[in-house]
Chains A and B, each alone.
Chain A
Amino acid sequence: MLSYILRRIVATVPVMAIVALFVFSLLYIAPGDPAVVIAGDQASPEDVERIRQSLGLDRPFLVQFGSWVWRILHGDLGTSIFTNLPVSAMIGQRLGPTLSLMIITLLLTIVVAVPLGVVAAWKAGSLIDRVIMGFAVFGFSLPVFVVGYMLAYIFALELEWLPVQGYTPLSSGFWPWLENLILPAIALGCVYIALVARITRAAMLEVLQQDYIRTARAKGLGQGGILFIHALKNAAVPIVTVIGIGIALLIGGAVVTESVFAIPGLGRLTIDAILRRDYPVIQGIVLLFSFVYVLVNLMIDVIYTLVDPRIRY
């Protein structure tokens, strides 16, 4: 297993290199010019050109790419064109809010979606099943920003239970940290909960048809034991897969959620950087997200072996 993990980690290097080249090329050929944005609306073409020169944007593609790769190899993600701050520092500033939001959403999803899926499978065809699946379809269909506005209106403006926006780090206290994350996590989690609940139901239904479940029932095992010990463990592979793949949904959804709830996370940083053509920041974030995907996939593969001992690498 250890050698497998090491092999997978080594294999990330060419993947990241291809991603890096792709991202850099894409930004190079994309329309838009950061110098124009920096120079402001009233600037002359000469001003814009001088800024392009000072930023090195007038250099040939290969020179710019080579210089970027060289810096990356030395652990330097570069400096933001706009803020003049190191990209790694900017990402570091924004990582906390995004991670917090993703962790709370993930926990919320597991706590809500898995039991819902199990119950729906257990009561398949019943009113409870239809209600749960109805909510799942509803949750899956609503855009994140619509849910976000609804939640903010009800729980922040009308009831005044929770704040509308912002982020407080955990170091300032648990409640200040949590209260800013509840509404965004619910908004972001709706799609995710719906997806995981549906997959859990489908996987459980398949497992509940198996002979060993019938045997367990025949031996007189209680319903809870059958569902949560025998069935859920054997249905875990597709559930783990969809939770892992769902992290992609979370990252995408975080971009919108962070904007709606004014959370200073990586999603907002990404949007700001793209709109301003802040190339080093965009490149740094894409590299980070790519790395996260690779890591999540690796973790999923490792978890497979834990939930299903028949899987060997």
Chain B
Amino acid sequence: MDRRTVLKGLAGAGGLALTGGLAAPALSQGASARTLRFVPQANLANFDPIWGTQYVVRNAAAMVWDTLYGIDAQLQPQRQMVESEETSDDGKTWTFKLRPGLKFHDGEPVLAKDVVASLSRWAARDPMGLMIIPIQQELTAVDDRTFKWVLKQPFPKMLYALAKNNAPCSFIMPERIAKTDAFKQITEYVGSGPMKFAKGEWVPGAKAVFEKFADYVPRQEKASWLAGGKQIMVDRIEWIVMPDPATAAAALQNGEVDWWENPIADLVPVLKKNKNISVDIGDPLGNIGSFRMNHLFAPFNDVRARRAVLMALNQEDYMRAIVGDDDALWKPLPGFFTPDTPVYNALGGDVLKGKRDFDAAKKLLAESGYSGQPVTCLVAQDQPITKAQGDVTADLLKKLGMNVDFVATDWGTVGSRRAQKTPPGQGGWNMFHSWHAGADCITPAAYTAIRANGDKAWFGWPNSVNTEKEIAGWFDAKSVDEEKAAIGRVNKAAIEDVVYAPTGFFLTYTAWRKNVSGITKGPLPFFWGVSKSA
């Protein structure tokens, strides 16, 4: 008998006296094995995957809501809720037929009218959906299982748009819920996915519970990312939010949780030493570090100042600040797109490679007219990745002879201040740091940060006619080869105009107890196929 059992017995005896005999229920080993306890990367603070586009919401939503198509591990869209699709000869009319037997968690069948309402709500918020709306002629239900999307011009990337994993995904909801304004939050979480959301057990900031949906009919194909047969092997999945990484690591070591999505690099060596824990790269598509310069105001409204920074920055400095000394976790990135993906191309990326040329950079900076005015650098200290990058940038700018106004604050403040278009001295800014999921940066499809359409572009408002022209070329590409060539041209144009500064490509680990099996690498945690033994 160990000490904990003795303590338990003693306290139990005392407790019986105090509480009038309240018994402590004990989970049997079998019950424990049927519950998977998962520590997500962040708190699930809301649960509307169209209204709130955070990755953590998308990840939870992928269990509860299904999609018409799903992206697979080869980055190809595959049928999911859809049984078949047809395209008219002119490429303008898409007709889709749903699989038979699809059901929502409230027992109602999934009908074409639900799909129409869901796609309309999704399109109002999604970058690709927003490209479809202006060319849409009609989106209608033909019968219970068939719906039709008629466009004014062809949209070759339609299936990719419906399958992609970038938030917001085109999740299908019952019509009554999907009719909610896309800018207002839904209050019912009814999907047709393999897990049901236990709303009654939801403690935002602490816990979210999902239960297996008995009536879910998986596809027959083997599961591959968001595609194929989504077989759930446990009865219950508990998401336990842990704000403190050290606590999460200890809980995993102790067996209080089974899977930690995103352990920080500092704690990985400790986890690797534990014989009961497996550690591996979680998402092979990784992340792209970035800092953005404000193209509206001096000094970075002059392309020469932006190029000067690019000539001097050393991606290794940034990556080591983020991931430490683990060389398996990063690689230099001479461009903007996710390496090791089918259409990856780094054309024009030489300026980011080789020995850093500070003398040339200083000369170019002087030519831009920079004369020592303060450069307002926003840094969110509560986000380790942005804080690390901010420190490196401050050092870099000082070495270039710039006068850095280092504004260390929290992410909430950076988030609102970066939206200000006023001059830096009047509440605006010159630069801020961020990073982008590699899954979002494979192509321009969902890559908001690469857009360079001036006022409509992401914060920093780059205006690069060439970059925009080449992005349009990618949307028109008809083959993988054409796409790859187009990506190369986008990369070259974006580097020439310095749409933003890529600071390197980095990966993160995921860690789980060895009694858990079936975890696959991917851009989000996939729970289908994951089982747990006692």
Contact = CB atoms under 8 A, between A and B. Distances in A.
B456 A90 contact: no
B15 A174 contact: yes
Interface size class, chain B: 35 or more
A44 B187 CA distance: 24
Interface stretch (B70-78, B248-256, B316-324): B248-256
A246 to B, nearest CB: 24
Given A40-B54, A174-B22, A31 B250 contact: no
B183 A268 contact: no
A186 to B, nearest CB: 14
A268 B187 contact: no
Interface string B1-40: 0111001100110111011001111000000000000000
A228 interface: no
A37 B48 CA distance: 14
Interface string A171-191: 111111111000000000000
Interface residues of A, number: 63
Contacts of B243: 259, 262, 268, 271-272
B254 A272 contact: no
B179 interface: no
B254 A157 contact: yes
Contacts, number: 171
B508 to A, nearest CB: 17
Contact of B52 (A33, A40, A163, A175): A40
A272 to B, nearest CB: 5
Contact of B254 (A33, A93, A160): A160
Nearest to B125: A47
A156 B8 contact: no
A306 to B, nearest CB: 25
A82 interface: yes
Nearest to A260: B244
Nearest to B461: A45
A155 B430 CA distance: 49
B413 A272 contact: no
B240 interface: yes
A295 interface: no
A176 B205 contact: no
A289 interface: no
A39 B415 CA distance: 10
B403 interface: no
A166 interface: yes
Which of B11, B409, B410 has the most chain A CB atoms inside 10 A of its CB? B11
A90 B244 CA distance: 21
A178 B187 CA distance: 35
A38 interface: yes
Interface stretch (A48-56, A128-136, A197-205): A48-56
Interface in B341-390: 382
A230 interface: no
Given A174-B16, A262-B251, A268-B243, A42 B203 contact: no
B46 interface: yes
Contacts of B248: 262
B416 interface: yes
A153 interface: yes
B465 interface: no
Nearest to B205: A272
B247 interface: yes
Contacts of A262: 206, 240-244, 247-248, 251
A49 to B, nearest CB: 9
A258 B362 CA distance: 49
Given A36-B419, A44-B456, A174-B15, A161 B7 contact: yes
Contact of A166 (B51, B240, B410): B240
A126 B46 CA distance: 59
A160 B250 CA distance: 11
A32 interface: yes
B120 interface: no
Contacts of A159: 3
Interface string B119-147: 00000010100000000000000000000
Contact of A153 (B51, B203, B250, B456): B250
B410 A164 contact: no
A41 interface: yes
Given A172-B24, A174-B16, A276-B45, A268 B206 contact: yes
A157 B3 contact: no
Interface string A72-111: 0000000010111100001001100000000000000000
Nearest to A258: B243
Contact of A165 (B127, B251, B456, B458): B251
Given A33-B416, A93-B203, A178-B15, A164 B46 contact: no
B22 A82 contact: no
B458 A42 contact: yes
Interface of A: prevailing SS: helix
Contacts of B416: 31-33, 36
A251 interface: no
Given A42-B127, A161-B4, A175 B11 contact: yes
Given A163-B256, A164-B256, A268 B240 contact: no
A177 B8 CA distance: 11
A264 B413 contact: no
Interface in A143-162: 149, 152-153, 156-157, 159-162
Nearest to A261: B247
Contacts of B187: 84
A80 B54 CA distance: 17
B407 to A, nearest CB: 10
Contacts of A176: 24
A36 B415 contact: yes
Contacts of B23: 173
Interface in B383-436: 409-413, 415-417, 419, 434
B267 interface: no
B434 A41 contact: yes
B329 to A, nearest CB: 22
Contacts of A153: 250
A166 B251 CA distance: 9
Which of A51, A171, A173, A262 has the most chain B CB atoms inside 10 A of its CB? A262
Contacts of A33: 412, 415-416, 419
A59 to B, nearest CB: 16
Contacts of A161: 2-4, 7
Nearest to A40: B53
Nearest to A273: B205
B184 interface: yes
B246 interface: yes
Interface string A6-49: 00000000000000000000000001111011111111110110
Given A40-B54, A42-B127, A54-B184, A48 B15 contact: no
Nearest to B420: A45
B518 interface: no
For the complex of A and B, 8 pairs with smallest distance between CB atoms = A174-B15, A173-B24, A264-B206, A40-B53, A33-B416, A32-B412, A36-B415, A42-B448
16 contacts: A36-B412, A39-B53, A40-B53, A40-B167, A44-B458, A82-B46, A83-B46, A94-B203, A160-B4, A161-B3, A161-B4, A166-B240, A173-B22, A260-B244, A268-B243, A275-B411
Given A32-B412, A163-B254, A272-B205, 9 more contacts: A36-B412, A39-B53, A43-B53, A54-B183, A94-B203, A161-B2, A175-B24, A178-B11, A275-B382
